[in-house]
Structure 1
Amino acid sequence: MRLFSLLYGVVVRNVDRRVPAPLRPFWTSPTGPQTVFFWGPVFKWSVVLAGLGDVLNRQPHLISKKQTLVLALSGVLWSRWSMVIRPRNYNYMACNAVMSASQVVLLWRSISNDLVKVWQDFRSPRGVEPNSTVPLSKQDH
């Protein structure tokens, strides 16, 4: 691990000399690229993008309600935490807020899919397939 720290220090010192003046406030900010407060959220966005991919592609019956609920609540919790800590980390807050929102959409899709199935089961007569060609009067006898 010491090797990575040394390598990171060399990269930061070399880039520091080349940062243009308009970007210098961002570069030297407490949540800028020289700190973990920048790189943590940058890499967490990959988790968020995976969740957004699930929103677009995952079939509702494959969505885990427990996992989705935990991720949604985790996003709310860490969004709040990012505004309490110093320095405030708006990138981290946005990352967690988007994660929470995407998980709420997934949870809604899963629950609504289950409700549609329950409604279809409730509406169909017991023991009869919805596309059955046998008249109901013959099934009763």
Structure 2
Amino acid sequence: MSKVYKLAVTAADRFVPSKLRPLWEHEAGPKTIFFWAPAFKWALVLTSIDDFRRPLDKVSTSQSATLAATGLIWTRYCLVIRPINYSLSLCNFSLGVANAIQCMRAYRFQHGLKTF
């Protein structure tokens, strides 16, 4: 698979405009996993946000708490690795916040407290 990816990047390399060349060549640019990890992880964030429409009796507090903790822990990690991956950090932070809110909503519902 990496041979196919390298061929695709080499082929696309010719079509990148000079103004976008710094982004293309960046150490966390589209040629690396540092770019593609957050690009695909945003789907998990969007799914978490979409779960706000789910009835609260169907929401798992343990799943939401786990995703919130994971998102917040990995936010920190993204800021200490080299190259610093701000895009993945923002994605993980969004995942943590969305699931923390969902976890609080589900907890309050399950304990008969007023939901927000």
- The alignment's TM-score, normalised by the length of structure 2, stands at 0.92
- 1:106 partnered with 2:109: no
Q: Match of 1:128?
A: none
Post-superposition shift, 1:85?
0.2
Q: Identify which of structures 1 and 2 has the higher relative contact order when contacts are C-alpha pairs closer than 8 Å and 6+ apart.
A: 2
Which letter maps to 1:86? R
Question: Partners of 1:27 and 1:88 in 2: how far apart?
Answer: 16
Taking every aligned residue pair, what percent have the same amino acid on both sides?
Answer: 36
State which of 6, 9, 14 in structure 1 corresponds to 2:3.
6
Q: Which has the greater radius of gyration?
A: 1
Deviation string 1:39-65 (CA, Å, 9 cap, x unpaired) is 11111111111111102x111111111
Paired residues, number: 114
User: Corresponding residue for 1:40?
Assistant: 37
Secondary structure of the corresponding residue to residue 111 of structure 2: helix
Structure 2: runs of 5 or more not aligned: none
Point out where structure 1 has 5 or more consecutive residues left out of the alignment: 120-141
Q: Distance in 2 between matches of 1:82 and 1:113?
A: 33
The one of 20, 24, 28 aligned to 2:21: 24
- Residue 72 of structure 2 is aligned to residue 79 of structure 1: no
